[in-house]
Structure 1
Amino acid sequence: MPEERALREARSDKIVEAIAAFETRTKALRGRPITTTELVWLRLLLQLVLNYAEPADGTAVGAGTLPLADKKGYGWARLLGRLLMQHFGTFLALQALRLEEDENEQLRVIEYLATA
């Protein structure tokens, strides 16, 4: 059991670090055109948080690593809020999105928007 708890905490740390790195990168892009890569990263992080979120009643099922709320800021509701702030903060940047004439790129943008 202690090993499982340590693994869950390490996983939580990595998720929070990835979100913090994304926030830093996104803030550096303010006022500049963004690429679909950033949109794909945002979708991935949203899906990652949702995948590791514990149910609201607190019963961990499967990979549930992120509680609804905690004192360290690892609560999945707070992490989703941080990511959605990035989404809405960069929404105007979508007007200047550099989208390749590639159907796969266009599908990635549609998937990102549907997820967000």
Structure 2
Amino acid sequence: MKAKDVLGQSGERVAADYLEDKGIRVIDSNWRCPAGEIDLVALDGAELVIVEVKTRRSRRYGDPLEAVTAAKLARLRTLAVLWAREHRHVMGGLRIDAVGIIMDGRTEPHIDHLKGVA
């Protein structure tokens, strides 16, 4: 497994723990279909929350959240509908969040959580 993939998986675990601590229940992770992948699927009350997680070791090449593009957000909306259909989930609302994480390996991860980015 590539170091980038290991970092990404670690970031997703950190993000899931962070969300759970905030009362947002993670119900699926790394869901894939031919149209793409959802990092985390969660419930905040009755609202379905699709979470894009971006993890970096530093801000040397920019903030992790800068990698969440308009095209990615549009694809996540489509993926949310596909996930809900496959899991027979009736949405009580939909929100797309982005979580940016800096994990330098020396200090506690720095987490930025943006709710409702799309």
TM-score, structure 2 length as denominator? 0.30
The answer to which structure, 1 or 2, has the higher relative contact order (CA under 8 A, 6+ apart) is: 1
More helix by share: 1
More strand by share: 2
TM-score, structure 1 length as denominator? 0.31
Larger gyration radius, structure 1 or structure 2 = 1
